[in-house]
Amino acid sequence: MQHSALPIFRTDTQRRLLIELFLEPGAPRTLSDLARALEVDPTTVMREVDRFSASGLIAERRVGRARTVAIDETSPSAAPLRQLLGVPRSETTAPDRPLHHGAQGASRHKRRPLPSSQQQP
């Protein structure tokens, strides 16, 4: 018998995204990697990440042109969500550079990447 997601999550994608990030809390992931892992459209991942980032649950940073995200374990919501999702705490190290929260750098993350045919060398 398969259980459905708890009704606290807006979508199943939201639940799966959190599980994916909680499994490796100290390892920032690109939005493209998350979209592939979840088998969803990158725009969907970006929208969900923006919501979690604005709430302070997810921290982010830029690595070149890529936007990377990770769970902010210092967020008051992190531990209760981890417990609700049934994801055990791992002893992964923190990222080597600080990640930025959405409220601090949201405007600079609104730019969309160039289509691959227009990318510069």
Do 79 and 12 contact (CB within 8 A), yes or no?
no
Residues 6+ apart with CB under 8 A from 98: 59, 61
Of 3.10.129.10, 3.90.640.10, 2.60.120.10, 1.10.10.10, the CATH number of 8-85 is 1.10.10.10
The single-letter DSSP state of residue 113 is P
CA 33 to chain centre: 10
Do 17 and 26 contact (CB within 8 A), yes or no?
no
One digit per residue, pLDDT tens: the chain, 121 residues? 455 555 677 888 999 999 999 988 778 899 999 999 999 999 999 999 999 999 999 999 988 989 999 999 899 999 998 888 888 876 543 444 444 444 443 333 333 444 444 444 4
User: pTM of the predicted model, to two decimals?
Assistant: 0.67
